[in-house]
Structure 1
Amino acid sequence: MEDYEEDTRTFADLGLSGPLLETVQNMGFSKPTPIQLQCIPPGIQGRDIIGIAPTGSGKTAAFALPMLQHLWSAPQGLFACVLAPTRELAFQISSQIDALGSAMGVRTTVIVGGDEDRVTQAVMLAKKPHVVVGTPGRLLDHLKVTKGFSLRNLKFLILDEADRLLDSDFGVSIDEILKNIPTERTTYLFSATLTDKVAKLQRANLRNPVKVQVSTKYQTVSSLLQYYLLCPLVKKEVTLISILNSINQNSVIIFVSTKEYCQKLAIMLRLLGFQSVPLHGGLSQSQRLGALNRFKGDGANILVATDLASRGLDIPTVDVVINYDCPTHSKDYIHRVGRTARAGRSGKSILMVTQYDVEFIQRLERVLEHKLELYPHDLDGLDLLRERVDEAGRVASNQMREEQLSKKDGRKRSKVILSADRDGEEDDEVAKHPFKRKRR
């Protein structure tokens, strides 16, 4: 394959229109990344594209810029649909498309599930946006029930993080959506890895696509320094606190396995004086976006997250990724550490390895084809921290228990109020019709 790292072409050399060139310049894009160099020219030519590149390589601009170029040439109503596996990624893609298309006046609408209001979304769809960015389940809901909304005239379909979109959780919805869009369209599949499911969809729905691959199946970027740190399970929490004390000026994402522990650890860190926020599937959409905004701004420099945050989120200033819990698969490790060292920046990852994780790190090193380095951290003094950390853990557990009891009491009160309202309605009905009997 040609070595595109030496490619000296600029965005102007790739054939982009004036408004788009003005925008990328204003956004500070100095030169195209390898994935952009290889995707934008065939995209402008109208080719279907399969783009395989590591996280942080500029995939969003690689598919958004040629799509916007075609929209500029043939403006119409609903022009493109972008599907993403998570709500956070959908919002992020939408904001980037808005920014890249700002000189053109492009209009985007985000259609995701959770606590987002369906009626409000239907109103936004009725305004005929140029681009709809959404998660498959909620988009399919609108296709079924929202009057006047269809994808029959769609020109572009883009699947970002396509390998995850084609997992069983999304597969049925994707199949249904494909039945509701024209076969004469341009299709882009973008992913960090090329799985069998992505290859299968390629054969079924793409027309003579150009395949762009700027990475091997499993690869991390060269600017990422990868470390491991051995610690006994019983000292894992205090070891984490010791690490955070040594890098307290850095922006850090800590990955854990469960949403319960994600919430607990975030509370513990706040009790210990760290600025931390949690991000997990148990939060409402507004809470998730609020946590991300605080982390991106000055509100918090530590994000404690489940794998909800491992895909696609572009937070350029992340200095360190700590894998507190080892992921299940090596591929998940690739996505997690891809939250740092993005777009040519440097970054650091630390994998915390207990006596139960040795097999994982051996398997990971075989996949990566290189050894992780031992993290240079002095573990002396853990006993001095132990009492404070254990106390913070107890307080966090009690706080979570009280919150759970409060939620249960709230639900019970709601049921009592609802039952009383129903009884009141029945009493009113009996008063109007005395010969009616209340059924119990």
Structure 2
Amino acid sequence: MTFKDLSISEPILKALQLKKYDSATAIQSKSIPIALKGNDIMGIACTGTGKTAAFALPIIQQILSLTIKGSQRSPLALVLAPTRELAIQIEESIRDYTQFTNIKSCAIFGGVNQHQQVRQFSKGIDILVATPGRLLDLISQDLVSLDTVKYFVLDEADRMLDMGFIHDIKHILSFLPQQRQTMLFSATMPSSINKLSKALLRNPVRVETTPESSVVESICQQLYFVEKAEKVDLLMQVLGTDQSNTTLVFARTKYGADKIARKLNKRGIKCDAIHGNKSQNARQKALTNFKTHRTRVIIATDIAARGIDISDLQTVINFDMPDAAETYVHRIGRTGRAGCSGTALSFCTQAESKIVRDIQKLTGRKLQRMQSSVSFK
């Protein structure tokens, strides 16, 4: 289905054509008509399926139908994101989609001085993208008001709860008008999200394009059993097989991500680590280096990786196995996008072997067992 078939207006279509977006993804083709009718939505879809456009395009179109006057206008839409990287990424996409309109947007997030963000907001915006902490901070300073919000989006809701933002979300809700359209999007659907949706949404239409267990068929999934102390050696061995591959490596902890990065850099593989303890400038520099191929390897924790959107990512490596099978599906979904092939490697110790059984049960697929010079039988 094309975006024109979805009754997207001409200024937005023009912007989509510049980005070479012709056909809508499944989540977009299902969500956009529902959103344009004003219904609340609970959307469940994996990473890389086009969720941002699924909620942004109908919001932009609905704002275009309103009369927007003056420069000192207040936000009509609020998009809440768990991380600063994701907030930046969403706002950049919205800016692309609105380039042929008079709609203004901005992103506010922590980790940097608030002055520039406040100045941009004070000039008048229509769509605000924010992380919970910085938003509440600016509200408490009477620098941001949400009284005019008509459209509210909670993106990556599962990660929001994982990061402990539930109280912040409830606090933010108290500043929003009761009469609004709300859209909640999540990669997974744990019971906590179901509970949140009942408090947040009014008669929502559920849109689920990909089950939690679904794994892109084009991803080659391989499994290495290896001792914990030998994981770095195995990583070096794998990375040395193809010097052109772009690779995202998942670590369980912030300390672990830094440790892996230090060891790889010492061995001549240029890479950066990205996690919550890094400054905003350091995180953005790491992402820019990766996207521009100045580095071909980036080490990330699950939370920080939510802001990484690389269209041609070739390899995902689970250096540390995830705590849940659903997280595995979400991790490897960052490769094999847009019809491209991808490879997902998992380094598993004997202590982590239970998660492999959980993954295979959830996905219905057996991981391909691999041998290496450092793996054990």
TM-score range, shorter chain: over 0.9
Give the aligned partner of residue 209 of structure 1. 204
Give the aligned partner of residue 22 of structure 2. 30
Alignment of 1:10-409 (within 5 A): 10-76=2-68, 77=73, 78-114=75-111, 116-147=112-143, 149-167=144-162, 169-311=164-306, 313-375=308-370, 379-380=372-373
Deviations 1:278-330 (CA, angstroms, capped at 9, x unpaired) = 11222101100110011000211100112233325311121000001111122
Deviations 1:198-240 (CA, angstroms, capped at 9, x unpaired) = 2223322322221110111332222222111122233221111
Percent of paired sites with the same residue: 38
State the secondary structure of the residue aligned to 1:182: coil
Deviations 1:155-189 (CA, angstroms, capped at 9, x unpaired) = 11001001222347111111111111111111111
Q: Tell me the amino acid that sits aligned with residue 327 of structure 2.
A: D
Give TM-score, length-normalised by structure 1: 0.80
Q: Tell me the amino acid that sits aligned with residue 231 of structure 1.
A: V
State the secondary structure of the residue aligned to 2:5: helix
State the secondary structure of the residue aligned to 1:356: helix
Q: Does the C-alpha gap of structure 1 residues 296 and 198 become closer, same or farther in structure 2, counting only changes over 3 Å?
A: same
- The structure with more radius of gyration: 1
State the secondary structure of the residue aligned to 2:283: helix
Give TM-score, length-normalised by structure 2: 0.93
How far is 1:128 from its partner? 1.6
Task: Output the CA distance in 2 between the equivalents of 1:83 and 1:98.
Answer: 16
Farther-moved stretch of structure 1 (225-234 vs 294-303): 225-234
Task: Output the CA distance in 1 between the equivalents of 2:248 and 2:276.
Answer: 16
Task: Tell me, yes or no, if the aligned pair for 2:84 and 2:307 is still in contact at 8 Å.
Answer: no
Q: Does the C-alpha gap of structure 1 residues 201 and 358 become closer, same or farther in structure 2, counting only changes over 3 Å?
A: closer
Deviations 1:120-178 (CA, angstroms, capped at 9, x unpaired) = 3222221121111111111111111134x211110110010012223471111111111
State the secondary structure of the residue aligned to 2:39: coil
Task: Tell me, yes or no, if the aligned pair for 2:81 and 2:131 is still in contact at 8 Å.
Answer: yes
Farther-moved stretch of structure 1 (335-344 vs 171-180): 335-344
Task: Tell me, yes or no, if the aligned pair for 1:50 and 1:189 is still in contact at 8 Å.
Answer: yes
State the secondary structure of the residue aligned to 1:110: strand
- Please state which structure has a larger fraction of its residues in helix: 1
How far is 1:194 from its partner? 1.9
Q: Tell me the amino acid that sits aligned with residue 317 of structure 1.
A: D
Q: Tell me the amino acid that sits aligned with residue 123 of structure 1.
A: R
Higher relative contact order (CA 8 A, sep 6+): 2
Task: Tell me, yes or no, if the aligned pair for 1:55 and 1:192 is still in contact at 8 Å.
Answer: yes
Q: Tell me the amino acid that sits aligned with residue 21 of structure 2.
A: F
Task: Output the CA distance in 1 between the equivalents of 2:3 and 2:363.
Answer: 32
Instruction: Please give the root-mean-square deviation of Cα atoms over the aligned residues, in Å.
Output: 1.7
Task: Output the CA distance in 1 between the equivalents of 2:270 and 2:45.
Answer: 33
Q: Does the C-alpha gap of structure 1 residues 54 and 253 become closer, same or farther in structure 2, counting only changes over 3 Å?
A: same
Aligned residue pairs: how many? Answer: 370
Task: Output the CA distance in 2 between the equivalents of 1:288 and 1:177.
Answer: 26
Q: Tell me the amino acid that sits aligned with residue 86 of structure 1.
A: T
Structure 2: runs of 5 or more not aligned: none
Task: Tell me, yes or no, if the aligned pair for 1:122 and 1:146 is still in contact at 8 Å.
Answer: no
How far is 1:276 from its partner? 1.1
Q: Tell me the amino acid that sits aligned with residue 122 of structure 2.
A: A
